[in-house]
Structure 1
Amino acid sequence: MSDFGLIAKLEAQQDAGADIELLRGAIGCESVTGNEGHFVDFLMSEMTQIGLKPASGDFLPDRPNTWGARVGTTDGPNLMFVGHTDTVHVRGWAEHWKGQPQEDPFSAPVIDNEIWGRGACDLKAGICSALAALRLLDTVGVQLAGTVSFAFIGDEESGEPNTGVSAGAKDLVKRIATGEIAKPDFAIYVEPTKLDVYTAQIGFFIAEISITGKSAYFGTPQDGVDALKATHQLLTALWQHAEELAQGPTHPLVGASDILVTKINGGGYIAVPGECELSLIRKLRPGENLDDAVAQFEAVVKGVAFDDGISFDIIYPAGRDHRFGGSPVEIDPDHPAAKSLAKCVTEVREATAEIGGAPYWSESPFLVNEIGCPTVYCAPGDISIAHTFEERVAVSEYLAGVRAFALFIARFCGTKTESTKLNGGNQ
């Protein structure tokens, strides 16, 4: 079947209603971080229906990952779709939308050709696009030469107590390393990109600093050591550091590094503030080393001329693939599979898909760095409305994602009669 003929068949035979209901059903499975199991049950049922013979395993007690594969007819390349099953919380959602169709964050109403709900774009639209793509290829009658596999993992999101450390991703790469799950040749992590293809992403670390002085009665401030004044000195130094980073090297897809103070808490009594706390996040561009960035930041803190009696403590609460945080990562933006995926997206819709960089951190470093699998981000959805009360995904973009993934699966894996291979730079 020619590419033109396949594209026409994908569009003609796509069951839009079934694809929409698949996503609505996924949104209907509440899966706030720590409670991924219900959604995993849903996914295993859907995977079984398309012949994937899914397996599952707990990455933490009662918190499962699931995975499955359609093995090809020949020894062709293995394409893997990866996505996280957990979402952020819904606190305040019902109150925000009280009396509106969106009031229930899991009812997935379709309003003005957009599907609403928690997880709609981050990232259940991506997961459902990938599964629906294989179903669409079956409908069209395409038999794959290579293998298409799926891995859906928990614990990606932050925000819930004692969770959000990528425990699911760590379990996945461990199973791949031991051979329990076949190593993919190329992976698509279905974070929302508006169907652009991201070959790079930022890294990060979060630091929480506690500054301690000595409280004293406001009438005798000379008896105290002002922690809030010390914090002002530290903030000045950090903002200067941010300016230096902004003026430093930039990355063509994700820009310059930076540091952002996100929270400050101190004082509150009619007294010299004896304690103050602040939080910050440091963005790293690809090519930066996390250990070096932390050392640079700590040198800034230690370089502040605090008054005698001031002490401080720093903790790093958000270790992911690295003890301090999440590593930046990139693959060659000219990788043939990445360019082919962008071409597939462009061919199934009117807008051109761009090669870009993710202004967020997700779990591709586990795949790129730990198992050596080239990985991109690509999926329907707009990251700027993820985690908000506005979370939704356009029906047209979601359906285009299904067709784009189907076309790319066929091209990357090859079909029974043609064994096109894009992994490893061969085409």
Structure 2
Amino acid sequence: MYGRGTFDMKGGIAAMMVAAARATAHGPLRGDVILACVADEEHGSFGTEEVLESFTADAAIVTEPSHLEVTLAHKGFAWFDVRIEGRAAHGSRPDLGIDAIAKAGHFLVALEDLGRRLAQGPAHPLLGTGTVHASVIQGGEEPSTYPARCHITLERRTVPGEDADSVERELTAVLDQLAATVPDFRYRLTRGLHRAPFEADPEADIVRTLTHHAEQALGHPPVVRVEPFWTDCALLDRAGIPCLLFGVDGEGAHAATEYVDLASLDRLTDILTATITDFCS
């Protein structure tokens, strides 16, 4: 089926709804089945955060598209704003001005070097190493003025063992080194949105149960995968809810042409139905 959102993730929502209805229609279960359709997953996942303020569960399945492969880990991220301070002055008065954009150039070079050091450092066995990049830069007002400040927004992708605190220490060390070695280098570092990485326990009951029924439906053990992007699994895991990600096959998430493979949608629905029935029996 072609259409915007069919792959990411209306297919997963449809499978969740039908599976929950089928599983509960088979007879009483030893527990409740919670169907959570939440907003804001593409940004801060504030919908899932609000759900977790009022509900908990013994296990969870996130049906983001995964090509019927079991996703057990993904990276996190942390956003930071760096403001490099200069001093405004007319372009004819270099004795008075401090060029914040030029000073920011030192930081951009140091940030690129940090990225190289991360790539060569210790790696997570599934997710590899963390990464860092400058995302947005803003500075200056007009050609004839020394810029008083330059703003850089950066993103640091994290792996298990890293978090916003460790990233802040890492960036502070880089910036403090520049402040100690580059004349007139002054900065302000501000933490933005950050989300933890995720790694499931492969022996958790929900992982074993879904993997078993996926193998029954597919005729072979499902492929185990990891993702470089972030999902709601991290919030569920942080709340003490064992979880994993498992969804449809298809292509075109966030693209002009998007589709879901309907055979995979049927298989996903069957696997979810069997998993719910088995787990809650």
Q: TM-score, normalised by structure 1?
A: 0.59
Instruction: State which of 72, 79, 93 in structure 2 corresponds to 1:206.
Output: 79
**Residue in 1 that maps onto 2:26:** 142
Instruction: State which of 116, 133, 156 in structure 2 corresponds to 1:282.
Output: 156
Bigger relative CO (Cα 8 Å, ≥ 6 apart): 2
Instruction: State which of 21, 38, 48 in structure 2 corresponds to 1:153.
Output: 38
1:131 aligns with 2:17: yes
How far residue 285 of structure 1 moved from its aligned partner, in angstroms, is 0.6
Contact 1:198/1:377 (8 A) holds in 2 = yes
Contact 2:206/2:243 (8 A) holds in 1 = no
Distance 1:326 1:251 in 2: 17
Distance 1:198 1:398 in 2: 17
1:173 aligns with 2:52: yes
How far residue 254 of structure 1 moved from its aligned partner, in angstroms, is 1.7
| Cα distance change, pair 311–381 in 1 and its aligned pair in 2 (3 A) | farther
Give 2:234's aligned amino acid: P
Describe the SS at the equivalent of 1:151: coil
How far residue 144 of structure 1 moved from its aligned partner, in angstroms, is 5.2
Q: TM-score, normalised by structure 2?
A: 0.86
Contact 1:115/1:392 (8 A) holds in 2 = yes
How far residue 405 of structure 1 moved from its aligned partner, in angstroms, is 1.2
How far residue 184 of structure 1 moved from its aligned partner, in angstroms, is 2.0
Give 1:174's aligned amino acid: E
Contact 2:78/2:157 (8 A) holds in 1 = yes
Distance 1:144 1:201 in 2: 35
How far residue 350 of structure 1 moved from its aligned partner, in angstroms, is 6.1
Contact 1:200/1:286 (8 A) holds in 2 = no
Contact 2:175/2:187 (8 A) holds in 1 = no
Instruction: State which of 204, 209, 213 in structure 2 corresponds to 1:340.
Output: 209
| Cα distance change, pair 352–273 in 1 and its aligned pair in 2 (3 A) | farther
Give 1:238's aligned amino acid: L
Distance 2:110 2:254 in 1: 31
How far residue 190 of structure 1 moved from its aligned partner, in angstroms, is 1.9
Contact 1:144/1:413 (8 A) holds in 2 = no
Instruction: State which of 386, 396, 400 in structure 1 corresponds to 2:253.
Output: 386
Describe the SS at the equivalent of 1:150: coil
Give 2:183's aligned amino acid: D
RMSD over aligned Cα, in angstroms? Answer: 2.5
Instruction: State which of 242, 251, 258 in structure 2 corresponds to 1:374.
Output: 242
How far residue 200 of structure 1 moved from its aligned partner, in angstroms, is 1.8
1:239 aligns with 2:115: no
Contact 1:348/1:404 (8 A) holds in 2 = yes
Distance 1:306 1:328 in 2: 34
| Cα distance change, pair 393–298 in 1 and its aligned pair in 2 (3 A) | farther
Distance 2:22 2:54 in 1: 29
Give 1:126's aligned amino acid: G
How far residue 394 of structure 1 moved from its aligned partner, in angstroms, is 2.4
Deviations 1:68-95 (A, max 9, x none): xxxxxxxxxxxxxxxxxxxxxxxxxxxx
Distance 2:53 2:267 in 1: 33
What are structure 1's unaligned runs of at least 5 residues? 1-113, 159-163, 177-182, 319-324, 415-427
Deviations 1:183-210 (A, max 9, x none): 4221102222222222222121101222
Contact 1:115/1:395 (8 A) holds in 2 = no
| Cα distance change, pair 363–273 in 1 and its aligned pair in 2 (3 A) | same
| Cα distance change, pair 169–136 in 1 and its aligned pair in 2 (3 A) | closer
Deviations 1:108-146 (A, max 9, x none): xxxxxx3311x33332221211112234457xx733543
Distance 2:231 2:6 in 1: 17
| Cα distance change, pair 356–336 in 1 and its aligned pair in 2 (3 A) | farther
Deviations 1:329-370 (A, max 9, x none): 322123343133234234323675222223222222332222
Distance 2:220 2:112 in 1: 39
Distance 2:67 2:95 in 1: 58
Contact 2:168/2:191 (8 A) holds in 1 = no
